[in-house]
Amino acid sequence: MNYNIPVRLAKLGKHQTEIIDILRNSGENITPAELSRYIRGKENPPKSERVLMESDKIVTEWEHENA
């Protein structure tokens, strides 16, 4: 599924590192390189869909806060 996260982050003036911080605080073990590969679709392990779904929720929340 394409979450279009990079474009949405750019519109919000946010960065992937902010998503990583939130994911790590919730217990997800993720590196910047992993998130980047998952977003670009370069890797698709089982973990990737969970990380992308959570990232989408985070970005959606930010979008609602800025609406």
pLDDT confidence of residue 34 = 97
Q: Strand, helix or coil at 26?
A: coil
Could you read off the pLDDT of 11-61 as tens digits, one per residue?
Answer: 999 999 999 999 999 999 999 999 999 999 999 999 999 999 999 999 999
Domain boundaries defined on the chain: 5-65
Residue 1 has pLDDT above 90, yes or no: no
Q: Could you tell me the pLDDT band of residue 2, with boundaries at 50, 70 and 90?
A: confident
User: Residue type for 46, please?
Assistant: P
Residue 8 has pLDDT above 90, yes or no: yes
Compute the distance between CA of residue 63 and CA of residue 43 in angstroms, rounded to an integer.
26
Q: pTM score > 0.75 for this model? A: yes
Compute the distance between CA of residue 13 and CA of residue 28 in angstroms, rounded to an integer.
23
